[in-house]
Structure 1
């Protein structure tokens, strides 16, 4: 007996200035769809409908409309930047579809046609600053690509620093894909911050990190152990592009390939034959992969692929993916996630091979707080408690450090 087919949109930029992370997202969704179709666990199969906006924000809406209107999709996995997500929202509203948005993002949104499975601010930038400020200091230089992600994430950083009497020495933006960053390096060298918060994406970020690596060679004050570069969105997918330029970078994510759990060991072993032994697995791959599994489990549980039914089922109970159990908060439609902090270390300098080494993680998943309503950036003294599955707790606070 043939299984019913459910078309699912897979909307990632596999070309363009941030194609590295787009390729990772595409393969995460594609492999999950192939696994589900071959598993024999479900009375349906997914029909993958691909779209490549090529990094053009306005093209995402065109592709999403085609998926809903022509291909009959009710669910779309993808969009990478916040600009592309915003472009797609009216399409999802009109077509009554459900967008599965998987990257980390700046928060301050909770849309009824979106399931957010990437980290929001209290699961990303807040734990990162809580880790960095006590160790390195309060004087920061903020960078961003010139769109919503950079603006809003840096705004949160400003509030966090203000709450611990910190100082922003500079805040600069460049167009997506712009690699002309010499002026940024010159200003950073002049102002000598304690750390740099990098919210550039794609080619702009790679150019900046290479230039900072060279600056660190010339001036030890900018070596990673003296003036680290922080990121909320740089992952293993981009390490092969960067080589030594990524060494010492400190990033936050809800998944790193080096995560030591039995489920992750099994996951990585299974993927070796699909992605190749040397292909890095990152959160940009894992989040779409898990989103597809969440979708399949929810359809199985409620017996329907209607977006409203799927969403109600998602928010009713946690669902297990091959990596972990994921709970979706019914108020915000965001996932409970465990923040991890890791530093890039070289494992083969001659070949430019590196990995993330996890240096801190929360005790368990944090409840999503996309509007930071449970965090007071002015209350900077004291450790605070993490919200976990066992209780609400408080949100983490930054500790004061001496000058």
Structure 2
């Protein structure tokens, strides 16, 4: 809504009109609401969905009804629809640089946690492959139901096996409960403080950090955007967003959704219409300035090139940038060109089938 307000303030020859639809987190409602937006309200461009589960419910609808989903959330990859624009990182843009940062600093013995659906499955599968390629070890891989907060067994296993780090692919309340319980373990036993054995995530941001507070301190997250990124452009964006009602909610989720609206508006401005094909063609040929940088949609995959910054959680709801990327990583959603090995003198060529132990 902040981005729509910003676009409309420029007095363009068109006006963006939002038609909100809230499925309330109920995955069974996404397809029906999406169909209603297109058929009854005439919507052509939909910005939304968080989980991969909900996105996969919506894709058949936008493909059938000739609309576009602008998906603003990090995901596991292994997908490319000509009716989805992926305005966030896939695995080679988040997991791979995160693991390459963490393993040399903390070690190669890990426990992998994930919510029991495709995000957790696929991200942990790739992490397992990277660890094995680096002569590391997966001490355990556990999945729990989305929203489950009964995580005592995870803490007990971590305490018994003492991993070098924990990869956290839990989502929502499950993630918050785990981080709080792990912090309590660290208070009981300093050997499990996050400064010693951190929790690392590909999907944990400022808006969630505020839910966990001090219990998330010293854990790591990879993201294409952090509110604390230096530079005048980001400061201007954050201040402008705050004047439009956003404050503590400014995070990668916010920036990616904001960028989606700017891509749509720029596509309409270049094409002179909101029709699907001309807008997509414009987004693939003209760079658009966004909080994520100047971005252009990759014509082959409908993804975008993005940087991979690494942040370490502070106790005040923000992140310290411990690694600021100096370039954007080209999207490789099917991992066809990405090396999962961290050592240059070993491992398979990208693009080949790999044996995952």
**Shift of residue 306 of structure 1?**
1.1
Deviations, residues 130-179 of structure 1 (Å, cap 9, x unaligned): 00000111101000111110101001101111110111111111111111
Correspondence for 1:327: 296
Moved over 3 A (4+): none
Q: What TM-score results when the alignment is normalised by the length of structure 1?
A: 0.84
**Structure 1: how far apart are the matches of 2:308 and 2:290?**
18
Correspondence for 2:172: 202
Aligned residue-pair number: 348
Q: Is the 8 A contact 2:100 2:342 kept in 1?
A: no
**Structure 2: how far apart are the matches of 1:282 and 1:321?**
14
Q: What's the C-alpha RMSD, in Å, of the aligned pairs?
A: 1.6
Within the candidate set 255, 275, 287, 1:286 is matched to 255
- Distance change >3 Å, CA 183–CA 322, structure 1 → 2: closer
- Distance change >3 Å, CA 322–CA 103, structure 1 → 2: closer
Pairing 1:2-401 to 2, within 5 Å after superposition: 30-40=1-11, 42-275=12-245, 279-321=248-290, 324-346=293-315, 353-377=316-340, 379-382=341-344
Structure 1 gaps, min length 5: 1-29, 347-352, 384-393, 396-403
Q: Is the 8 A contact 1:302 1:309 kept in 2?
A: yes
Q: What TM-score results when the alignment is normalised by the length of structure 2?
A: 0.94
**Structure 1: how far apart are the matches of 2:254 and 2:150?**
29
Secondary structure at the aligned position of 2:82 is classed as coil
**Structure 2: how far apart are the matches of 1:363 and 1:163?**
26
Secondary structure at the aligned position of 1:44 is classed as coil
Deviations, residues 43-94 of structure 1 (Å, cap 9, x unaligned): 1111111111111112111111110111100110010000000000110111
Structure 2 gaps, min length 5: 351-357
**Shift of residue 323 of structure 1?**
5.7
Q: Is the 8 A contact 1:264 1:323 kept in 2?
A: no
**Structure 1: how far apart are the matches of 2:176 and 2:76?**
21
**Structure 2: how far apart are the matches of 1:314 and 1:86?**
23
**Structure 2: how far apart are the matches of 1:202 and 1:325?**
30
**Structure 2: how far apart are the matches of 1:323 and 1:158?**
29
Secondary structure at the aligned position of 1:267 is classed as helix
Q: Is the 8 A contact 1:263 1:324 kept in 2?
A: no
- After the TM superposition, which of the residue ranges 126-135 and 239-248 deviates more from structure 2? 239-248
**Structure 2: how far apart are the matches of 1:267 and 1:380?**
36
